[in-house]
Structures are given as C-alpha cells and as structure tokens.
Amino acid sequence: MVQEQEQLTEMAVGKGEMGEIVKARTDKREYRRICAASMDVRIGSFCDPDGLEGLAHFLEHMLFYASEKYPLEDSYSKYITEHGGSTNAFTASEHTNYYFDVNADCFEEAVDRFAQFFIKPLMSADATTREIKAVDSENQKNLLSDTWRIYQLQKHLSSESHPFHKFSTGNWDTLEVRPKAKGLDTRQELIKLYEENYSANLMHLVVYGKDNLDKIQALVEEKFLDIKNKDRSSPRYPGQPCSSQHLQILVKVVPIKQGHKLRIVWPITPEIHHYKEGPCRYLGHLIGHEGEGSLFYILKTLGWATSLSAGEGDGSFEFAFFKVGIELTDAGQEHTQDIIGLLFKYIALVQQSGVCSWVFDELAAVSETKFHYQDKTPPIDYVVNISTNMELYPPKDWLVGSSLPSIFSPSIIQKVLDDLSPNNVRIFWESNNFENHTDLVEPWYSTAYSIEKITSSMIQEWMLSAPNGELHLPAPNVFIPTDLSIKNVHEEVKYPVLLRKSPYSTLWHKPDTVFLTPKAFVKIDFSCPHANDSPEAEVLSNIFTELLMDYLNEFAYYARVAGLYYGISHTDSGFQVTLVGYNHKLRILLETVIGKIASFKVKPDRFSVIKEMVTKEYQNLKFQQPYQQAMYYCSLILQDRTWPWMEELEILPHLQADDLAKFAPLMLSRAFFECYIAGNIERSEAESMVLYIEDVLFKESNPICRPLFPSQHLTSRIVKLENGISYFYPVEGLNPSDDNSSLVHYIQVHQDDFRMNAKLQLFALVAKQPAFHQLRSVEQLGYITFLLSRNDSGVRGLQFIIQSTAKGPAQIDLRVEAFLKMFETKLYEMTDDEFKSNVNALIDMKLEKHKNLREESGVYWREISDGTLKFDRRETEVAALKQLTKQELIDFFDENIKVGAPQKKELSVRVSGNLHSSDYKKDKTEPAEPGSVRIDDIFSFRRSRPLYGSFRGSFAHVKL
C-alpha cells in the first residue's frame, strides 16, 4: 500500500526500446519498464476447450487456493486480509487478471505468496470439487440478471465457430456432469490448461510500492524469476463473430425486469487499432449527446425514451461492436420503428455534416484536461488498469491508454461511421410485452426470444415515416474550463471548519491543501420535514428530484461532458444537490440548479414519463438479488420513520401531476440546508455560494422556503435491540422464480464510541477471512459470503451476508452460529504476535491517505450527515487501538458476539427462495426456540422498541 513516496514498476517480457512514458503533469510518481514476469495473463475464456465451458474462469478461482511453497489452503487470502488488504481476480475473453493490495510493511511476503500461483500452484482434488460449487453458485446468481442474459444471447446469435459464441462463466453441468459423462477429469483438464498457457511471455506485471524503483525491481526479479517461459504465442482469434445470417436481424427478447429497451449494434473495427484518432469516442459523443437537437433530446421531447447511451462495446483485439442503448417508455415501445428511423436519420445527419474538426478539438481538449488533472485512484484499481493496457499499447502509452485522442483523421472516423449502416445492423428489442410471443430459447439462461430479418429498404421506410424532429449537432461547450489555476490557501486546514451558521443553513468548508487540483466538491443537503412524513410524500419527493434532473439535462449535460458532474437525489429527510469537478464554471451550474428549484413547475407530460419510470423502478425491486432484499428488510426493521416500498408502489398509480404541483411548494415551505464545500474554493467564494442560495430561496419578498422551527429539525434514529434476545424475521423471496435464499445475520453492538469502534473493527478484521474460508470455501454455502461491520447513523454492529441455493436461511443461520463457536477457540488461542500484527494492520489501514478530493469529502460528509462530527476519527481510533489489549478484544467478543452471550443483541433476516419454501413455512408456524423472538410485523415491532438517541437534528449541535 502506498504511503509518502510512491513508485510504480511495470514489467513485461519482451525486447525493444522504450520511449518516455507519457504521464499526467500532476503525476509525481516514477516509472520504469524492465524484463520480468507478470500478473495479467493473456489467456481468457476464449481458450476454453469445447465441452468444458468456464474452465479458464474456474482456473482463476483455483489459483487462489494454495501453492507448493504455501500449501495451507486459503493462506494467501488470509495473509492479505489480516494485513489490511484485499484480493480478487476476473476472467475476460482474452485475458485473466489477478490482483491484491496490502499494507506496505507486508508487501514483500504478499508478493512472494502471489508469485507462487504462477510458479507452482496446488490444485488439490478436494478443493477442485468444492470450488466447482462456487462457480455454479456464481452462475446461479446471474441466471435472473438481464445484463447477463442479453449478453449471452448476443453471443449465442453469432458464428458457432467463433469463441465469442461460447458460454464463458461455467456451471456444475459444464465443469462436472458433462466432463464426467465423457470420461474427462476436470482437474486434469485444469492442470493442462494452466501448463499449456500460463507462460511468462504471456504475462504482464505492474507493482506499485513505496520503496525506490531499484529495490522494487530487485524484489520482483527475485520473486518472479521461476515462472516458466514456455514461449507461447499470444492466442489470436481473427475474423468477425457475426456472419451475414447474424446481421440485419431484429431480435425480440423477454427480459426479467419490467420495461422496454432497444440495443442497436454494429460490428466494427476495434478502436484499439486507432486509439489516437478515437473514431468511436467521436461518434459516441455525438450519437450519445443529450443537449438540445440531439437524438435523445428529440426522443425525450416526444416522451419515448428515458435514457440513451452510445459507444464501443464488447470486443477484443480482432473485433468490436458499436452499441446504442435506448431505455423506452410505454409510448416509445409503440413507436420502435420511428425511434430506429430517427437514429438512422441522426447518423445520416452526421454523415452529411462531415467529420468536424471543431468537435474533435473540443473532445481532445476535454480529454487532455481530464488526463492531466485526473484524480489518483486506489492502487488496486490503478495496477489493474495499467496491466491490462500493457498488452494493447506501446510502452509510452501504458498510462494513457485510449484516453488522449490527438490525431484528427476524418478518413478513420468516416470508416467507422460508414459501418453504422442498415446493412450490418443487429437490433435487440427487450420487452415484457413479448411474453408468450416468442418461439426460441437461449440454452444457458433460458431467455425467450424470436428473430425477424430486416432489410435496408425497411429501415429507409422507417426513416421516411419518422417524425421531423429538429435534429442538429451539439453547440460549442461553454463549460470547458480554461482557468485551471490553484488558489492560495493561507492557513493549513486539516479538518472541515464551520464557517457560517444561520437560521437557514450551516456551511462547512475545507480548502484543498493536499491534492492541489483545480477541482471542488459541493454538497447541499436540504432537510424538509414534509418530504418524508408519509409514504405518499416520499414518492412525491422522489418524483420531484427526478423531474429536476430531467429539466436540467439538456443544459447541464454539457457540464458533465466537460468534467463537472452534478446530481440531485432524494434522501430520507428531503433531497441533496452534489456538484463535483473543475471549479472554474461550477458557480454557473450551481446557480442554474438553484434557479430550477426556485422556479419549479410541474410539466404534465414530463410528470407522466417520470412517474412511469419510477413505477418500473419500484416494480423491479422484487427482482433484486435475495441478499439485497435481506439487507433492505434489515434496514426497514432498524431505521425509524422509513416506509416500505410496497406501500409506495401502491400509491403510485393514483398520483397525478396536480398532486405534485400542490406538494412541491408545501415540501419547500419549511427547509434547512447543510452545506459542505471543499477543494479549490476560497472561504469568501464558499460563503458567497451559501448567501446566494439563501437569497434565492429564503429572502425574496414572498419566499419559497422559511426556516424550520426548532421542533422540526430532523433526526435519524435506530431501533435498539434487546440484550440476550435473538430476533428473526422470516420472509419469502419476492421473485418466485429465484432459487437463491439469503440470510443477513446482524449483531448490534454499540452507539459510536472510539474504543468500542476499535474493538469492533479489529474483531471484523480478524474474523473476516476465517468466516469466508469456512462458510464459502469449505462449506460452499454460496458465492456471496461476507462478514462486514455495519454503521447505521452511528449505531455500530457486525453482519454476515450469505446467499445460497445449497441451504435454506434457517440452516445457514445455524452454520453462522457454528462458525462463531469454532472461531471462539481460535480467538482465545491467538498469540500476542498475531494480535499485534492485526492491530498494526488496522492502524495502517486507518492511516492510509485519501487518494483524491472526492474520497476525502465522502469521509467528512458522512460525519456531517450522521451528525457525529468526529473529523479526527481516524487519528483518535488509532490512539484507541494502540491502547487495546488482547484480553479486551476477548472480553468484547464474550460480551457482544459469542453465541449465548447475555449482552448479545442479534437479528436474522431470512429470505427463502423457491427451493426452500418449506424453511419459510417452518419458521412462520413453529414456536420460536427459547431466547428467540420471531418478528411477524415489522412496524409493530419497530413501535414496540426503544430507540437510540440521534446525533443528528439538533440545531444547537454545532457551535461557531
């Protein structure tokens, strides 16, 4: 993990001179390229042998288990987790990427353990059989996901001879049943795939550490020296995956979720071959634009679409697709031919306009500013990004990738534009309206679909009959920043300062003295008591914020393109406005947003579109993963004054534009806003912004808002569970087609306190990996298995989150208890050295510096929104950790976590999938065990329990 001095070493096997690596002007890191081995392996799911679909993905799972040098199963993950890090991997079509991060002082051993996977991994027969279940569980999680279903259907409708056609994830059938039937040993095939393909010359490694480059280079050469170079050539898959029979087709698809979507797809030459010219970036910018005159603007005006995206999609070095995705309204679903016609009309407009140098220059300018003033990202994301770039780009562009289009080439852009023709289009049209009107089924996900051929002449007819919208190219972007200077901060400010307090607002300010970028972060949180006083009010508040975003879009979209992001979101107590990005033009955007709030009027046509969109969002909540449903119920049980989405869905059909027209002035009639302004903004500018908001909303002769009465300041209160009682809430999964069950086992511990926080976080760190290993790797309960600490408005606890088809939620609950009993012994037997090592790991995690302004602001904003205001939390908790003894940790466990502890407060939310409906019936009908209490009605339960005091909502809680 990176501290003061950051170095980054990149290694690639291969020869050739290297020019200077292009890096951002603000990037002070050093880089070097040397000959060695790597972590990004140029072998992916395209290499799966026929009849063993998912083998490359399965190999990715298996490498983590053990190696000859470190044979103890899961010891790598245990080492990483116990030293403050995390580890993961992913398998793509043509490469597999393994990555980790860890505290700096443990880096050398972590690298050594990591390297062994590429030298001598152990793939034991026992682990192989168990991990097939994990791959199958991962696939079960995806079966009812429209994203996975549509992606696989696009692959299915391609040439069987091309690897794009394959099913890449794998499941029990492809990795166990079918190979056995053919007399194949999956483990032997796994070893064969590894031996034949995991060669040093197909690997690239990026190492990010705190030591100087010479030291890191020596470490890497020593640790990775023994990776075998089998001199394999990088696999290539020439040719397009779509033959003529897979083009000029209209595919009607039945999705799982409510709604309608069009995906228009064309095979193209991958942009990687022309990344300096950026043809897809240019065309995606124009076709995906949302300003006045754009395709989306016209579709939105007609009430036919709620979102549109455009750009290069799935592909490889040899092929790619240009994709346009359009979310349709019910009215748009009835006008699909017109919408396709309008899209082709816009493409024709781009053709007629010719490739414009000013559009490219504007894009290049925005890209250059973005690159040179980019935020630092977490090292784990950074190394993954660069290691994947190393195979694709020459060394000087490893950091840049495709992010700096710099060569204006009309002919290259024109070539891709010519590909976007009716002759090679594929149209995927998703809608629940097609249910029972299809005749084909995709084999892996059982997606129902049908295919119709379409011709160029049909599309010409659709273009002619489409409405005559005023389509035109975007205007020059006024939001592109030109002043990138850094303000002088005269005083060293470590934490946010309360600059101003009035009956209308509080202002917290933190100038940037760390990141020194021309960016700012502004959060304005409006507390409106009427916004949440009933389920109806909550829904209307939600529609209010969606409409505000809708009204702003054609103007403020330009700001987003220029790197100034904005959002207006509904909260439990009102709504909040967030602005993040270059500070130069931020004030213009802020004034526009506040102006839209002040002049808010309900446009009936937009109201009906947004209402329809919000209704579908509510309806689709039942298709969430079961573990997400369990987390939702857990929050509903714990959080006072929250409304169930089922009640809100019931209200929606009856709401009219007039209801919102009456509600919005009432909601705004009493308000208080809390403001946090950080970054490249001086005190006087911050104060001026808040005064502006107060003037517009509170100080007109007939003000839109009046200040809150002292009694109206809103609180965030959490239900206090009873000591020594195990509450459980059994509920059926909302989607009867979902086999997965889920459990959230929550242990409530205490209200925010530095010493208790330190104990809880240390316990979570110590128990996290053993819980994952036992419940996921050994018992194979399910792919989704987590142990996390939890914080609800300052009330702290611990939660196990498990999703499974193997066992019902009540059975999983027993396995969690069994784990805690087993772990009890491990905790008691922990050595002093192990204890100290874990404490030091947690201290290192806490002392890790914020990477960028957004991350820092998120941490400080949480203190403000929770009302805890402990801006020095990290330093104070570190001090508490340094004082902590092993016995105190054991006492903490015995009192709060241990099975049967008299002080223990626990709640299990048990969501039963259709495989475990008998568990649900049993839970609902049989008497609860002694010491257990079943929650039959969430709201009766909530009313019956005392609440923790709120940190929030006292106007006097901050003093100037």
Q: Residue 118: enclosing H or E segment and its boundaries?
A: none
| Predicted local confidence at residue 349, as pLDDT | 97
Task: Say if residue 764 is in the same domain as residue 622.
Answer: no
Task: Say if residue 634 is in the same domain as residue 727.
Answer: no
> If you average pLDDT over residues 320-325, what whole number do you get?
98
| Residue 391 domain flag | yes
> If you average pLDDT over residues 947-954, what whole number do you get?
85
C-alpha triplet 721, 722, 727: angle, nearest 5°: 70
Task: Choose one of 193, 225, 257: the last residue of a domain.
Answer: 225
Listed in sequence order, the residues at least 6 apart from 191 whose beta carbon sits closer than 8 Å to its beta carbon are 123
| Predicted local confidence at residue 490, as pLDDT | 76
| 27 backbone dihedrals φ, ψ, rounded to 5° | -90, 110
**C-alpha to C-alpha distance for 804 and 742, rounded to whole angstroms:** 6
Confidence of residue 16 (pLDDT cuts 50, 70, 90): very low
Q: Are strands 426-431 and 249-253 parallel, antiparallel or unpaired?
A: parallel
Question: SS3 sequence, 215-254?
Answer: HHHHHHHHHHCCCCCCCCCCCCCCCCCCCHHHCCEEEEEC
Confidence of residue 271 (pLDDT cuts 50, 70, 90): very high
| Residue 153 domain flag | yes
> pLDDT digit string (tens) for 194-209?
999 999 999 999 998 8
pLDDT of residue 955 exceeding 70, the answer is no
Q: Percentage of the chain with pLDDT > 90? A: 88
> pLDDT digit string (tens) for 117-147?
999 999 999 999 999 999 999 999 999 999 9
Residue type, 493: V
**C-alpha to C-alpha distance for 569 and 665, rounded to whole angstroms:** 18
Q: Residue 306: enclosing H or E segment and its boundaries?
A: strand 305-315
Task: Say if residue 696 is in the same domain as residue 583.
Answer: yes
Task: Say if residue 435 is in the same domain as residue 506.
Answer: no
pLDDT of residue 598 exceeding 60, the answer is yes
| Residue 740 domain flag | yes
Give the number of domains in the chain: 4
How far separated are the first and last CA of the chain, in Å rounded?
Answer: 38
**C-alpha to C-alpha distance for 762 and 839, rounded to whole angstroms:** 7
103-112, 737-746, 919-928 — most confident range = 737-746
| Among candidate residues 652, 613, 602, the one with its CA nearest the CA of residue 332 | 613
| Predicted local confidence at residue 492, as pLDDT | 80
**Tokens coding 359:** 């559009």
| Predicted local confidence at residue 105, as pLDDT | 86
> If you average pLDDT over residues 470-481, what whole number do you get?
96
Task: Say if residue 285 is in the same domain as residue 337.
Answer: yes
Residue 251 bridge partners (DSSP): 428, 451
pLDDT of residue 959 exceeding 70, the answer is no
pLDDT of residue 475 exceeding 90, the answer is yes
pLDDT of residue 369 exceeding 70, the answer is yes
pLDDT of residue 31 exceeding 60, the answer is no
| Residue 293 domain flag | yes
| Residue 492 domain flag | no
- Between 43-52, 168-177, 951-960, the lowest mean confidence (pLDDT) is in 951-960
Report the residue count for the chain: 960
| Among candidate residues 301, 451, 398, the one with its CA nearest the CA of residue 23 | 398
pLDDT of residue 234 exceeding 90, the answer is no
> pLDDT digit string (tens) for 489-521?
877 889 999 999 999 999 999 999 999 999 999
| Among candidate residues 474, 283, 278, the one with its CA nearest the CA of residue 368 | 278
**Tokens coding 579:** 């602005």
| Predicted local confidence at residue 25, as pLDDT | 77
Task: Choose one of 465, 480, 510: the last residue of a domain.
Answer: 465
Give me the active site residues, please: 60, 131
| 556 backbone dihedrals φ, ψ, rounded to 5° | -80, -15
> pLDDT digit string (tens) for 859-906?
999 999 999 999 999 999 999 999 999 999 999 999 999 999 999 999
Task: Say if residue 567 is in the same domain as residue 703.
Answer: yes
| Region for 398 from its dihedrals, namely left if φ exceeds 0, alpha if ψ lies in -120 to 50, beta otherwise | alpha
> If you average pLDDT over residues 35-56, what whole number do you get?
85
Task: Say if residue 150 is in the same domain as residue 46.
Answer: yes
Listed in sequence order, the residues at least 6 apart from 520 whose beta carbon sits closer than 8 Å to its beta carbon are 579, 580, 581, 582, 583, 586, 677, 678, 679, 680, 681, 853
Task: Say if residue 88 is in the same domain as residue 54.
Answer: yes
pLDDT of residue 935 exceeding 70, the answer is yes
Per the CB < 8 A criterion, the answer to whether 880 and 754 are in contact is: yes
C-alpha triplet 378, 278, 401: angle, nearest 5°: 30
Q: Which residues of 732-766 are buried (b: 16+ CB within 10 A; e: fewer)?
A: bbebeebbbbbbbbbbbbbbbeebbbbbbbbbbbb
- Between 505-509, 796-800, 949-953, the lowest mean confidence (pLDDT) is in 949-953
Confidence of residue 29 (pLDDT cuts 50, 70, 90): low
Confidence of residue 30 (pLDDT cuts 50, 70, 90): low
pLDDT of residue 488 exceeding 90, the answer is no
Confidence of residue 714 (pLDDT cuts 50, 70, 90): confident
| Among candidate residues 236, 238, 230, the one with its CA nearest the CA of residue 202 | 230
| 555 backbone dihedrals φ, ψ, rounded to 5° | -85, -50
| Among candidate residues 48, 24, 786, the one with its CA nearest the CA of residue 403 | 24
**C-alpha to C-alpha distance for 743 and 549, rounded to whole angstroms:** 36
Helix 125-142, helix 55-63: angle, nearest 10: 120
pLDDT of residue 460 exceeding 80, the answer is yes
> If you average pLDDT over residues 26-39, what whole number do you get?
55
CATH assignment of the domain containing 47: 3.30.830.10
pLDDT of residue 104 exceeding 90, the answer is no
| Residue 587 domain flag | yes
Task: Say if residue 199 is in the same domain as residue 151.
Answer: yes
**Tokens coding 519:** 């960016």
> If you average pLDDT over residues 275-284, what whole number do you get?
97
> pLDDT digit string (tens) for 297-321?
999 999 999 999 999 988 788 999 9
Confidence of residue 10 (pLDDT cuts 50, 70, 90): very low
> If you average pLDDT over residues 767-773, what whole number do you get?
96
Q: Percentage of the chain with pLDDT > 70? A: 96
Specify the 3-state DSSP secondary structure of 348.
helix
By residue range, what is the domain housing residue 811? 718-948
Q: Are strands 905-912 and 741-751 parallel, antiparallel or unpaired?
A: antiparallel
| Residue 13 domain flag | no
pLDDT of residue 14 exceeding 50, the answer is no
Task: Say if residue 169 is in the same domain as residue 267.
Answer: no
Task: Say if residue 276 is in the same domain as residue 366.
Answer: yes
**C-alpha to C-alpha distance for 97 and 386, rounded to whole angstroms:** 11
CA distances to 551, 575, 603, 657 from 595, in Å: 11, 16, 16, 21
> If you average pLDDT over residues 603-618, what whole number do you get?
97
| Residue 148 domain flag | yes
Chain mean pLDDT for the chain: 93
> If you average pLDDT over residues 543-551, what whole number do you get?
98
CA distances to 49, 539, 633, 718, 811 from 942, in Å: 55, 22, 12, 9, 26
> pLDDT digit string (tens) for 578-596?
999 999 999 999 999 999 9
**C-alpha to C-alpha distance for 960 and 958, rounded to whole angstroms:** 7
| Predicted local confidence at residue 661, as pLDDT | 98
Residue with tokens 């395709």: 295
**C-alpha to C-alpha distance for 639 and 934, rounded to whole angstroms:** 18
Task: Say if residue 221 is in the same domain as residue 270.
Answer: no
| Predicted local confidence at residue 428, as pLDDT | 98
pLDDT of residue 848 exceeding 80, the answer is yes
**C-alpha to C-alpha distance for 51 and 184, rounded to whole angstroms:** 10
> If you average pLDDT over residues 637-659, what whole number do you get?
96
